[in-house]
Amino acid sequence: GQQLNQSPQSMFIQEGEDVSMNCTSSSIFNTWLWYKQDPGEGPVLLIALYKAGELTSNGRLTAQFGITRKDSFLNISASIPSDVGIYFCAGQSQGTSYDKVIFGPGTSLSVIP
Amino acid sequence: EPEVTQTPSHQVTQMGQEVILRCVPISNHLYFYWYRQILGQKVEFLVSFYNNEISEKSEIFDDQFSVERPDGSNFTLKIRSTKLEDSAMYFCASSAGGIGELFFGEGSRLTVL
């Protein structure tokens, strides 16, 4: 079935550094989404991408929908302690209904003050 | 700000017992979902619900699981006879119909003993 892979699995960075994480798939996705999950809470949508090549920003966050429609990246600039959490990519793949959104395994981000 | 609410926040049950998890989606949303997250693992799709019927379900969502929207506001997940491996955080989500833009509740933690 459809599967998403994320890298890195975890990262430890100094406050103020920029962060980059990736999401890839062996199949084409029509929609890419990036969610953040804080401990004990549900995922919160950060950015949604709908078109191949699309580059979208939300404050210090920037995400791109890869041209091949099989990958996406998320960048966080000038990290701060509240950026700590797990970042999930998610997507709806070609050939399925819009009603099935699957999640990647997540990238755990730790920010050292 | 509208939000998805879930009850109970934590339920402990004996193996073989029936469990009902409740969700109140955002009021003008049309698509409803259940996901589960086993501790430390990824968010797994269970089922989506639209127009009073299941629109997609995963392999996890077997005959032990059912969903319904009994009164136009609540959206419930029932596990008929719980197993140890059903222990997880269960997240409800809703969407206005935008592709993949899911809004999640804070989750219901189910512990099966």
Kindly report, residue by residue over B44-75, the tens digit of the pLDDT. 999 999 888 998 899 999 999 999 998 878 99
Using a CB-CB cut-off of 8 Å, the residues of chain B touching A43 are 43, 91, 102, 104
Q: How close A15 comes to chain B (CA, Å)? A: 24
A98 band by pLDDT with thresholds 50, 70 and 90: low
d(CA B2, CA A110): 29
CA distance A18 to chain B (A): 24
**Which pLDDT score, from 0 to 100, does residue A97 have?**
60
Rounded average pLDDT over B81-100 = 90
pLDDT band at A85 (very low <50, low <70, confident <90, very high): very high
Radius of gyration from C-alpha coordinates of chain A: 13
Q: Which residues contact A67 (CB under 8 A, 6 or more apart)?
A: A52, A53
Instruction: Report the pLDDT averaged over residues B2-26.
Output: 96
Confidence of residue B10 (pLDDT cuts 50, 70, 90): very high
Q: Do A104 and B100 touch (CB under 8 A)?
A: no
Find which of B99, B103, B106 to mutate to test the A interface (most A CBs within 10 Å of its CB): B99
Better pLDDT: B98 or B41: B41
- Closest CA–CA distance from residue A77 to any residue of chain B (Å): 23
Mean pLDDT along residues B77-89: 97
Whether residues B102 and A101 touch (CB distance < 8 A) is answered with yes
CA angle A28-B104-B6, nearest 5°? 145
The answer, yes or no, to whether residue A101 has pLDDT greater than 90, is no
The single residue listed with the structure tokens 């399925």 is: A96
pLDDT of residue A1: 66
Q: Determine, for residues A98 and B99 on separate chains, whether the beta-carbon distance falls below 8 Å.
A: yes
Q: What percentage of chain B has pLDDT greater than the value 70?
A: 97
Q: Distance between CA atoms of A5 and A71, rounded to whole angstroms?
A: 9
